[in-house]
Protein backbone atom coordinates (compact mmCIF):
# COMPACT_ATOMS: atom_id res chain seq x y z
CA UNK A 1 0.00 0.00 0.00
CA UNK A 2 1.38 3.38 -1.03
CA UNK A 3 2.01 6.03 1.61
CA UNK A 4 0.17 8.65 -0.45
CA UNK A 5 -2.47 7.78 -3.03
CA UNK A 6 -4.67 10.07 -5.11
CA UNK A 7 -7.62 8.70 -7.05
CA UNK A 8 -10.00 10.48 -9.42
CA UNK A 9 -8.76 13.96 -8.50
CA UNK A 10 -10.54 16.70 -10.47
CA UNK A 11 -10.30 20.47 -10.15
CA UNK A 12 -11.93 23.17 -12.27
CA UNK A 13 -11.66 26.94 -12.27
CA UNK A 14 -14.90 28.17 -13.81
CA UNK A 15 -15.19 26.55 -17.23
CA UNK A 16 -11.54 25.47 -17.25
CA UNK A 17 -10.83 21.89 -16.13
CA UNK A 18 -7.33 21.96 -14.69
CA UNK A 19 -7.38 18.34 -13.51
CA UNK A 20 -9.67 15.51 -14.62
CA UNK A 21 -9.73 12.11 -12.90
CA UNK A 22 -6.01 12.21 -12.00
CA UNK A 23 -4.43 9.34 -10.08
CA UNK A 24 -1.04 9.25 -8.37
CA UNK A 25 0.72 7.11 -5.79
CA UNK A 26 4.06 7.44 -4.00
CA UNK A 27 5.66 5.39 -1.25
CA UNK A 28 8.37 6.22 1.23
CA UNK A 29 11.86 5.73 -0.17
CA UNK A 30 10.63 6.42 -3.70
CA UNK A 31 11.07 9.34 -6.10
CA UNK A 32 8.15 9.90 -8.48
CA UNK A 33 8.60 12.54 -11.19
CA UNK A 34 5.56 14.35 -12.59
CA UNK A 35 6.17 15.74 -16.05
CA UNK A 36 4.05 17.49 -18.62
CA UNK A 37 3.88 20.49 -20.92
CA UNK A 38 2.76 23.93 -19.79
CA UNK A 39 -0.91 23.78 -18.84
CA UNK A 40 -0.77 20.04 -18.12
CA UNK A 41 -2.00 20.53 -14.54
CA UNK A 42 1.25 20.03 -12.64
CA UNK A 43 1.03 23.24 -10.61
CA UNK A 44 -2.62 22.62 -9.74
CA UNK A 45 -1.78 19.11 -8.56
CA UNK A 46 1.01 20.49 -6.35
CA UNK A 47 -1.43 22.97 -4.82
CA UNK A 48 -3.96 20.20 -4.16
CA UNK A 49 -1.26 18.18 -2.38
CA UNK A 50 -0.11 21.19 -0.35
CA UNK A 51 -3.62 22.22 0.69
CA UNK A 52 -3.75 25.43 -1.33
CA UNK A 53 -6.64 24.12 -3.48
CA UNK A 54 -9.31 21.64 -2.43
CA UNK A 55 -10.18 19.13 -5.18
CA UNK A 56 -13.70 19.20 -6.60
CA UNK A 57 -13.82 15.40 -6.75
CA UNK A 58 -11.68 12.39 -5.93
CA UNK A 59 -10.08 10.87 -2.84
CA UNK A 60 -6.73 11.31 -1.09
CA UNK A 61 -5.41 8.48 1.06
CA UNK A 62 -2.46 8.80 3.41
CA UNK A 63 -1.01 5.70 5.04
CA UNK A 64 -4.14 3.76 4.18
CA UNK A 65 -6.79 6.16 5.43
CA UNK A 66 -8.88 8.70 3.55
CA UNK A 67 -7.93 12.29 4.40
CA UNK A 68 -8.76 15.85 3.44
CA UNK A 69 -6.21 18.64 3.15
CA UNK A 70 -8.08 21.87 3.87
CA UNK A 71 -4.96 24.02 4.08
CA UNK A 72 -1.13 24.09 4.10
CA UNK A 73 -0.99 23.66 7.89
CA UNK A 74 -3.12 20.51 7.57
CA UNK A 75 -0.77 19.13 4.90
CA UNK A 76 2.18 19.81 7.18
CA UNK A 77 0.53 18.06 10.14
CA UNK A 78 -0.36 15.13 7.93
CA UNK A 79 3.25 14.67 6.83
CA UNK A 80 3.35 16.35 3.41
CA UNK A 81 5.89 19.14 2.92
CA UNK A 82 6.11 21.24 -0.24
CA UNK A 83 9.07 23.25 -1.53
CA UNK A 84 7.69 25.64 -4.12
CA UNK A 85 9.72 26.92 -7.05
CA UNK A 86 10.17 30.40 -5.55
CA UNK A 87 11.54 28.75 -2.33
CA UNK A 88 9.91 31.46 -0.13
CA UNK A 89 13.17 32.38 1.59
CA UNK A 90 13.92 35.74 3.24
CA UNK A 91 17.20 36.90 1.73
CA UNK A 92 18.02 39.30 4.56
CA UNK A 93 17.83 36.52 7.18
CA UNK A 94 20.51 33.91 7.80
CA UNK A 95 20.13 30.15 7.34
CA UNK A 96 19.00 29.47 10.92
CA UNK A 97 16.41 32.26 10.83
CA UNK A 98 15.01 30.96 7.55
CA UNK A 99 14.85 27.37 8.78
CA UNK A 100 12.92 28.30 11.92
CA UNK A 101 10.88 31.26 10.65
CA UNK A 102 7.48 30.84 12.30
CA UNK A 103 8.70 27.79 14.25
CA UNK A 104 11.23 29.40 16.57
CA UNK A 105 12.40 27.47 19.62
CA UNK A 106 11.48 29.71 22.53
CA UNK A 107 10.47 28.16 25.86
CA UNK A 108 11.04 31.55 27.49
CA UNK A 109 13.18 33.40 24.94
CA UNK A 110 14.67 32.53 21.56
CA UNK A 111 17.01 29.56 21.98
CA UNK A 112 19.69 30.43 19.41
CA UNK A 113 22.00 27.60 20.46
CA UNK A 114 19.32 24.90 20.12
CA UNK A 115 18.22 26.26 16.74
CA UNK A 116 21.81 26.28 15.46
CA UNK A 117 22.37 22.70 16.63
CA UNK A 118 19.11 21.59 14.99
CA UNK A 119 20.04 23.45 11.79
CA UNK A 120 23.28 21.50 11.47
CA UNK A 121 21.39 18.26 12.17
CA UNK A 122 18.98 18.96 9.31
CA UNK A 123 21.81 19.85 6.95
CA UNK A 124 23.74 16.71 7.92
CA UNK A 125 20.69 14.60 7.02
CA UNK A 126 21.14 15.94 3.49
CA UNK A 127 24.95 15.70 3.55
CA UNK A 128 24.80 19.39 2.65
CA UNK A 129 27.89 21.56 2.68
CA UNK A 130 27.44 25.13 3.88
CA UNK A 131 30.35 27.16 5.29
CA UNK A 132 28.20 28.54 8.13
CA UNK A 133 24.55 28.74 9.11
CA UNK A 134 25.04 32.37 10.15
CA UNK A 135 25.37 33.48 6.52
CA UNK A 136 22.52 35.55 4.98
CA UNK A 137 20.60 33.66 2.33
CA UNK A 138 21.35 36.53 -0.10
CA UNK A 139 24.99 35.39 -0.08
CA UNK A 140 24.18 31.77 -1.04
CA UNK A 141 24.21 30.18 -4.49
CA UNK A 142 21.05 28.84 -6.12
CA UNK A 143 21.92 25.28 -5.13
CA UNK A 144 22.61 26.30 -1.53
CA UNK A 145 19.29 28.14 -1.34
CA UNK A 146 17.50 25.02 -2.55
CA UNK A 147 19.35 23.12 0.18
CA UNK A 148 18.04 25.51 2.84
CA UNK A 149 14.47 25.25 1.50
CA UNK A 150 14.60 21.43 1.48
CA UNK A 151 16.17 21.34 4.96
CA UNK A 152 13.36 23.58 6.23
CA UNK A 153 10.79 21.12 4.86
CA UNK A 154 12.30 18.40 7.08
CA UNK A 155 11.48 20.24 10.33
CA UNK A 156 8.18 18.41 10.78
CA UNK A 157 9.67 15.02 9.83
CA UNK A 158 7.41 14.61 6.76
CA UNK A 159 6.76 11.30 5.02
CA UNK A 160 6.26 12.92 1.60
CA UNK A 161 8.18 15.90 0.17
CA UNK A 162 6.95 17.70 -2.95
CA UNK A 163 9.62 19.56 -4.94
CA UNK A 164 8.33 22.00 -7.57
CA UNK A 165 10.95 22.45 -10.33
CA UNK A 166 13.90 22.06 -7.90
CA UNK A 167 16.60 22.46 -10.59
CA UNK A 168 15.03 25.30 -12.60
CA UNK A 169 17.51 28.05 -13.54
CA UNK A 170 20.44 26.27 -11.86
CA UNK A 171 23.86 25.66 -13.38
CA UNK A 172 25.38 22.22 -13.89
CA UNK A 173 27.21 22.07 -10.55
CA UNK A 174 24.25 23.42 -8.57
CA UNK A 175 21.88 21.01 -10.32
CA UNK A 176 24.12 18.11 -9.33
CA UNK A 177 24.01 19.31 -5.71
CA UNK A 178 20.20 19.34 -5.73
CA UNK A 179 19.95 15.90 -7.39
CA UNK A 180 22.27 14.57 -4.68
CA UNK A 181 19.89 16.03 -2.08
CA UNK A 182 16.97 14.19 -3.68
CA UNK A 183 18.95 10.94 -3.58
CA UNK A 184 19.65 11.59 0.10
CA UNK A 185 15.95 12.15 0.83
CA UNK A 186 15.13 8.78 -0.73
CA UNK A 187 17.91 7.06 1.22
CA UNK A 188 16.53 8.57 4.43
CA UNK A 189 13.12 7.01 3.73
CA UNK A 190 11.19 10.02 2.44
CA UNK A 191 8.83 9.76 -0.50
CA UNK A 192 9.60 12.48 -3.06
CA UNK A 193 7.31 13.95 -5.71
CA UNK A 194 9.44 15.89 -8.17
CA UNK A 195 7.89 18.27 -10.70
CA UNK A 196 10.31 18.87 -13.57
CA UNK A 197 10.68 19.83 -17.21
CA UNK A 198 14.22 18.47 -17.42
CA UNK A 199 14.24 14.89 -18.67
CA UNK A 200 17.92 14.37 -17.84
CA UNK A 201 17.29 15.31 -14.20
CA UNK A 202 14.21 13.08 -14.08
CA UNK A 203 16.10 10.06 -15.40
CA UNK A 204 18.98 10.75 -13.02
CA UNK A 205 16.97 10.42 -9.79
CA UNK A 206 13.38 9.26 -10.39
CA UNK A 207 12.10 5.71 -9.96
CA UNK A 208 8.84 6.32 -11.84
CA UNK A 209 7.63 9.02 -14.23
CA UNK A 210 3.98 10.07 -14.29
CA UNK A 211 2.92 12.09 -17.34
CA UNK A 212 0.13 14.65 -17.22
CA UNK A 213 -1.36 15.97 -20.45
CA UNK A 214 -4.20 18.48 -20.59
CA UNK A 215 -5.03 17.78 -16.96
CA UNK A 216 -5.23 14.01 -17.31
CA UNK A 217 -2.95 11.05 -16.72
CA UNK A 218 -1.23 10.13 -19.96
CA UNK A 219 1.09 7.34 -18.94
CA UNK A 220 3.33 6.01 -16.20
CA UNK A 221 6.86 4.81 -16.97
CA UNK A 222 9.90 3.26 -15.36
CA UNK A 223 12.37 6.16 -15.27
CA UNK A 224 15.46 4.06 -15.86
CA UNK A 225 14.36 1.60 -18.53
CA UNK A 226 11.92 3.63 -20.65
CA UNK A 227 13.44 5.51 -23.62
CA UNK A 228 13.18 9.29 -23.27
CA UNK A 229 11.46 9.42 -26.68
CA UNK A 230 8.52 7.41 -25.30
CA UNK A 231 8.09 9.76 -22.35
CA UNK A 232 8.37 12.84 -24.57
CA UNK A 233 5.78 11.35 -26.92
CA UNK A 234 3.38 10.97 -23.99
CA UNK A 235 4.05 14.58 -22.91
CA UNK A 236 3.41 16.03 -26.36
CA UNK A 237 0.67 13.63 -27.37
CA UNK A 238 2.70 12.52 -30.38
CA UNK A 239 1.76 8.89 -29.80
CA UNK A 240 -1.89 9.80 -30.45
CA UNK A 241 -1.20 10.84 -34.03
CA UNK A 242 2.36 9.84 -34.70
CA UNK A 243 1.78 8.64 -38.26
CA UNK A 244 0.01 11.88 -39.17
CA UNK A 245 2.82 13.97 -37.76
CA UNK A 246 5.44 12.01 -39.60
CA UNK A 247 3.48 12.23 -42.84
CA UNK A 248 3.01 15.98 -42.61
CA UNK A 249 6.64 16.55 -41.71
CA UNK A 250 7.84 14.38 -44.59
CA UNK A 251 5.54 16.24 -46.97
CA UNK A 252 6.86 19.57 -45.76
CA UNK A 253 10.46 18.45 -46.30
CA UNK A 254 9.61 17.19 -49.79
CA UNK A 255 7.85 20.45 -50.75
CA UNK A 256 10.87 22.44 -49.55
CA UNK A 257 13.21 20.26 -51.58
CA UNK A 258 11.08 20.66 -54.74
CA UNK A 259 10.86 24.41 -54.24
CA UNK A 260 14.64 24.61 -53.95
CA UNK A 261 15.17 22.79 -57.24
CA UNK A 262 13.05 25.23 -59.26
* Average pLDDT of the segment spanning 225-239: 88
Predicted pLDDT at 105: 66
CB burial class (10 A; 0-12, 13-18, 19+) of residue 92?
A: exposed
Rg, the chain, Cα only: 21
> Which DSSP symbol is given to 238?
G
Confidence of residue 106 (pLDDT cuts 50, 70, 90): low
- What average pLDDT is seen over the chain? 87
How many Å from the N-terminal Cα to the C-terminal Cα in the chain?
66
Q: Is 124 helix (H, G, I), strand (E, B) or coil?
A: helix
Asked if the model's pLDDT at residue 258 lies above 90, the reply is no
Asked if the model's pLDDT at residue 35 lies above 50, the reply is yes
Predicted pLDDT at 239: 61
* Average pLDDT of the segment spanning 78-99: 91
Output 244 or 69, whichever has higher pLDDT. 69
Confidence of residue 181 (pLDDT cuts 50, 70, 90): very high
Question: Measuring CA to CA, which residue among 130, 134, 157 is closest to residue 144?
Answer: 130
131's CB contacts (< 8 A; 6+ apart) are none
* Average pLDDT of the segment spanning 170-196: 93
Question: Which domains can be identified in the chain, with CATH numbers?
Answer: 4-92+156-226 (3.40.50.300)
Predicted pLDDT at 68: 95
pLDDT in tens, 63-86: 999 999 999 999 999 999 999 988
Predicted pLDDT at 92: 92
Asked if the model's pLDDT at residue 243 lies above 50, the reply is no
Predicted pLDDT at 86: 85
> Which DSSP symbol is given to 224?
T
> Which DSSP symbol is given to 136?
B
Output 94 or 106, whichever has higher pLDDT. 94
Amino acid sequence: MATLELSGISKSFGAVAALTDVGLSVDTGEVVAIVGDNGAGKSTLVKVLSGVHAPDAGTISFEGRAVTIPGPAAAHRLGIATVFQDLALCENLNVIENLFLGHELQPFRLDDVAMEVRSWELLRQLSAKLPTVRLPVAALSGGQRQTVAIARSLLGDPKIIVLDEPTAALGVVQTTEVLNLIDRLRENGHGVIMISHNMADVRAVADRVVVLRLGRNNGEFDARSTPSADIVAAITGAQDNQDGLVTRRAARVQDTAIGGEQ
